[in-house]
Amino acid sequence: MAVSFSRDHIRFLFNRLKDKLWVKPLWMCICSIFAVFVAKVADHIETELFILPVSLDSLVTLLEIMASSMLVIATFSVGSMVSAYASASTSATPRAFTLVVSDDVSKNALSRFIGSFIFSIVALTAVKNEFFGVSGLFVLFILTGFVFALVILTFIRWVDRLARLGRIGSTVDRVEKVAMDALIRQRNTPNLSGARCIDRGKGEPVVATSVGYIQHVDISRLHQWAEKFDANVILVTLPGDFVAPGTEIARVILNDQHKDELEFDYKGVIGAFQIGADRLFDDDPRFGLVVLSEIASKALSPAVNDPGSAIKVIGSMVRLFATWSEPVQEKDEQDSCYDRVQVPEVKIEDMFNDAFTPIARDGAACLEVVTHLQKSLVALHLLGDERMKQSAKHHAQMSLKRSQLALDLPEDVLAVRDVSLFAGTDKI
């Protein structure tokens, strides 16, 4: 069966390629080699424009300086990036490592440093072998000046970024951004462009064949399979769920006249599930909440004792849930285009558990953290729908109970209660 890639699946594959650290340096090296040979084209083009004669010695000197310095700077940048990666894993959480690695400014800087080194080496070799004429040398001189200026500007910008790379505040902002993107995508397409799940529990079970987390589900591939065999597919698991051989990942409702034909393993269905060792942020909005809560938990540990970072994370949580609760604009909402695939929605209760349970547990003895948490839950209770209100009330109640056990002073407990949803009442 020929499988066509949907836009969503292409986005997933492109993001996996973009996350690789070697992709941009390789592309920049190819562009650098191409730029050198572009200068040679000028020797074959007749033009009436004035060509400034370029001293061969000056060009060689400039290229030699660039060749000797760029490799050193590239090596220095790699060492600095590795230190920043280690800092992010230590101060925040190892789950944020992939976001630090995928920092575009750092990857662009490394790519341009390596590309400049390759450019200078190739250009220097060509110049010393008298590869260029007068026009070619002039164009090469202009290209060399452009590359030199680009490297200087990149280095200045990269040093400014390096000062923040790996710091906990910067890491929290990056996690919030990717979590926000995933939440907006999930909010606009709550069923992943599939149909609403109305036949839960029906059909023949399809089980996983490997161990890991579901990273992506190719809904278009499932829809094509279902159309071919006149069936309907019901997703049991979503991106972010952990599965093992034997775990039910989907169910298939077969047409009566095709049941005899379909007595085989559902390889087409299983193949639509991308399973890997780690969770990814792209299609898993809950993972961003988990990582943020991990950062807050580490900040609240006795070894770190940084309640300010936990409070910052709580602010990020409120912004994420506030965005989630916003009504979907007509231009943003996407209609179901894969009606043969039924997809369950992410539960707001699970999202609240991922976000607030670890913070309420680890910050129960910290007055400023639990006070800020209660205020945030009050804010979410005011702006959310009924399900969000119930979740906010439940977590405010659980946080207050934990605080009563952890806080020593009755006055502290009273201060927490006064800012909670249960202010003015003795019941929780």
CATH node for 193-276: 3.90.1170.30
- Listing from the earlier edge strand, what are the strands of the sheet with 242-243? 242-243, 212-217, 273-276
Report the pLDDT averaged over residues 375-399.
91
Choose between 171 and 92: higher pLDDT.
Answer: 171
**Quick one: pLDDT at residue 256?**
62
**Quick one: pLDDT at residue 237?**
92
Choose between 89 and 117: higher pLDDT.
Answer: 117
Choose between 423 and 239: higher pLDDT.
Answer: 239
CA nearest 202: which of 242, 263, 248, 243? 248
* pLDDT tops 90 at residue 83: no
Instruction: Give the whole-angstrom CA distance, residue 83 versus residue 105.
Output: 16
**Quick one: pLDDT at residue 160?**
78
Mean pLDDT check: name the lowest of 16-25, 106-115, 133-142, 344-353.
16-25
Q: What does the pLDDT look like over 253-278, one tens digit per residue?
A: 887 655 555 455 578 889 889 999 88
Could you tell me the pLDDT band of residue 330, with boundaries at 50, 70 and 90?
low
**Residues 61, 62, 65, 68, CA torsion sign:** negative
Instruction: Give the whole-angstrom CA distance, residue 302 versus residue 366.
Output: 11
Is 207:246 a contact under the CB 8 Å cutoff?
yes
Report the percent of the chain where pLDDT is more than 70: 89
**Quick one: pLDDT at residue 12?**
75
Place of tokens 């993107």: 181
- Listing from the earlier edge strand, what are the strands of the sheet with 338-343? 194-196, 338-343, 231-235, 248-254, 204-207
Q: What are phi and psi of 170, to 5 degrees?
A: -65, -40
Query: In terms of residues, how long is the chain?
Result: 428
Spans of all domains in the chain: 18-166, 193-276, 285-332+346-418
Q: What does the pLDDT look like over 70-79, one tens digit per residue?
A: 888 888 777 7
